[in-house]
Chains A and B, each alone.
Chain A
Amino acid sequence: MSDLNTRIKEVMIESLELEDITPADIVDSAPIFGKNEAGEGLGLDSIDALELGIAIKENFGVTFSTVKEETKKHFASVDALAAYISANSKG
């Protein structure tokens, strides 16, 4: 598990106040919103998405395109989010 992935998970847990969940409990490839066929995923909704987006911007300094479909793609999983952050952050 990369450091960035762990940092993202920490930000998720902190900003969304996820209880009884540690970074290790979040599957890197599982959907952040809703759940996949295997029942994995955090099942967050669109308001959570907004707040998580704000936290990500405040912590990692990356902005999100206002094109909704594209933003959805970056929020697909922790892996996708990590890829987007490392591609777009300055440091």
Chain B
Amino acid sequence: MTMSEHWSEIEEVGGSVWHFRFMLWVVCHLPLFLVELCTAVICFFFWLGAAPVRARSKIYLEHLRKLGVRVGAFGTYKHILSFALSMMEKLLGWKGAIKLNRVEAQEDDLPLLVEQINKGEGAFLLCSHLGNMEMLRSLTEYGEYHTLKCFKVYPVVDLSGSKKFNALLRELKPELMENVIDANSIDVDSAIWMKEKIADGNLVVIAGDRTSAHTRNRVLETTFLGETANFPEGAFSLAGILNAPVYFVFAIRKHDFNIRSPYEMHVVRAKTNLDCLRKERPVRLKMLLQEYAELLERLCKEHPYQWYNFYNFWDRLDK
């Protein structure tokens, strides 16, 4: 077995559409504690049988362990279980069965973002595969910091992965998929469209912690969890091209293994100013990446099992 596979070469885990339909039935018809129980049992057998997934999870967890994070003997099982729960949670969310108001704000830049949205100004958000990004939509709905203005969230997604799961999500809520921009077909028109959406007070969001399936050589390097890793150049370049305020956003389950858990919403305004001469931009993008990676690292240490990148993140083509 090789550890040098890029994530796009790894087949979608969970196999057939039938599996996902079964998952959907389970989350819709069983009480949530039973959903969790079923997931835990199924995951246990999956964990026993899926040595490659275990090995890839272990690479990540070992990086954490070296930095003093406690990872138990069943760490890889917990990691896989947490991921399975997040898929259940996504289905529930898209089915409208999750109240989006169970979000706990942190003492960070969330009020700043809300204020900006209320002024009708949009923003560019860098999210990650840590936690559940769907929770962003909750910004319109909850508590003290809720926005007064309506806005839309336009996710830029690499649709070449998890095709079957995405097909099911599309079936559940076709209108939400309409807002999705395929990361593989960003061109002049879609870039201008994104600029306009941000100018109209909306949010464009992209994950900064997964290199592109089609342009694997376009990467930026920085240290992540103690070792140099590749990050997608495109996500950070897009921040430069759109030239909007940049925020880092993470929504993480407070209790790792409970899908009824409230969410911690972390919103941090990037300090790096991208409004600069083009020749200065590579340096600024690197600074932006460092800010992002440091924050991601801190939150991964707090919630090690909620980072859902099951490929060897530190494997670099040029190494």
Contact = CB atoms under 8 A, between A and B. Distances in A.
B192 A57 contact: yes
A54 interface: yes
A89 B130 CA distance: 46
B187 A64 contact: yes
Contacts of B187: 50, 53, 64, 66, 68, 71
A51 B186 CA distance: 12
B278 A16 contact: yes
Contacts of B185: 66, 68
A64 B188 CA distance: 7
B188 A17 contact: no
Interface string B182-221: 0001111111100100000000000000000000000000
Interface string A41-75: 00000010011011011000001101010010000
Nearest to B237: A47
Contacts, number: 37
Interface residues of A, number: 15
Contacts of A19: 279
B241 interface: yes
Contacts of A57: 188, 192
A19 B278 CA distance: 11
Given A47-B237, A66-B185, A53 B278 contact: no
Nearest to A58: B192
A39 B192 CA distance: 32
Contacts of B241: 47, 50-51, 54
11 contacts: A17-B277, A50-B186, A50-B191, A53-B187, A54-B192, A54-B195, A54-B241, A63-B188, A64-B188, A66-B187, A66-B189
Interface of A: 16-17, 19, 47, 50-51, 53-54, 56-57, 63-64, 66, 68, 71
